[in-house]
Amino acid sequence: MQAIANIWRNACRSVRDFVADKRALAATEFAVIVPLMLVMFFGTVEFSSAVAIDRKVTLIARALSDLTSQSTTLADADMKDTFTASISVIMPYDASLVKGTVSQIYIDANSIATVQWSKAGTIASGATQATLATSARKAGDKVTTIIPVSLLIPSTYLILSEANYTYTPSVGYVLKSSITLSDLSYTRPRQVTCVPYNGVPSTC
């Protein structure tokens, strides 16, 4: 009987040791897998947000050029309204991180593209309307190299819009620093040969 009891105790001990070993193995696997799962989870969240905002930046660029090209003439108030449209497009993201620029380009008889006028717009945090700003592009700047060859038609005009957004990951677990998402769009003036802004150009 004593022998049987010893065998039984040894068997129970072996079972306990086996279960303990399984728990240790599971804990080790968990410790190895969790960091990888966290990287995948936060990476997916950050990447998805960046893709969504990038798509909205494209829509903003298209909206800016489309609204401008439908005008027959522009003043500061009209341009403010155009840039203000960015607020609705970028929602629910922070509109103050949006920067937009609209320029009119003239392509001369030699297919040289030159800026006629250009204006930028920014949106203050919490603002419901855009504020006009000085554009980095100046009247007279040559921009032939950024115009697609198929659009370099002599003696024509183009509306060029540019939009960018400084995206900062909310977690920063995978994307460690801010990135600039940008896009541009070209349209032809719809109702007139060119779209004067504050009287520039005086004639088309």
Enumerate the β-bridge partners of residue 7: none
CA angle at 146 for the pair 60 and 76, rounded to the nearest 5°: 45
Assess whether pLDDT exceeds 70 at residue 10. Answer: no
Assess whether pLDDT exceeds 60 at residue 5. Answer: no
Contact 139, 115 (CB under 8 A): yes
The pLDDT of residue 16 is 55
- Tens-place pLDDT, residues 122-177: 999 999 999 999 999 999 999 999 999 999 999 999 999 999 999 988 766 566 67
How distant is the alpha carbon of residue 162 from its chain centre?
12
How distant is the alpha carbon of residue 8 from its chain centre?
69
Residues in the chain: 204
Tell me the C-alpha distance between 50 and 71, whole Å.
32
The pLDDT of residue 48 is 86
- Tens-place pLDDT, residues 14-71: 545 544 455 555 666 666 776 777 667 766 778 888 899 999 999 999 999 999 999 9
Contact 164, 57 (CB under 8 A): yes
Contact 116, 138 (CB under 8 A): no
The pLDDT of residue 23 is 57
Q: Among 70-79, 84-93, 154-163, 172-181, which is the least confidently predicted range?
A: 172-181
In 70-96, which ranges are continuous DSSP H helix?
Answer: 76-90
One-letter identity of residue 133: A
Output the CA–CA distances (angstroms, integers) from residue 172 to 44, 46, 51, 107, in the order listed. Answer: 12, 8, 16, 44
Nearest by Cα to 146 from 163, 126, 160: 160
The pLDDT of residue 71 is 96
One-letter identity of residue 118: S
Q: In what order do the strands lie in the sheet with 156-167?
A: 131-133, 113-122, 98-107, 156-167, 179-187
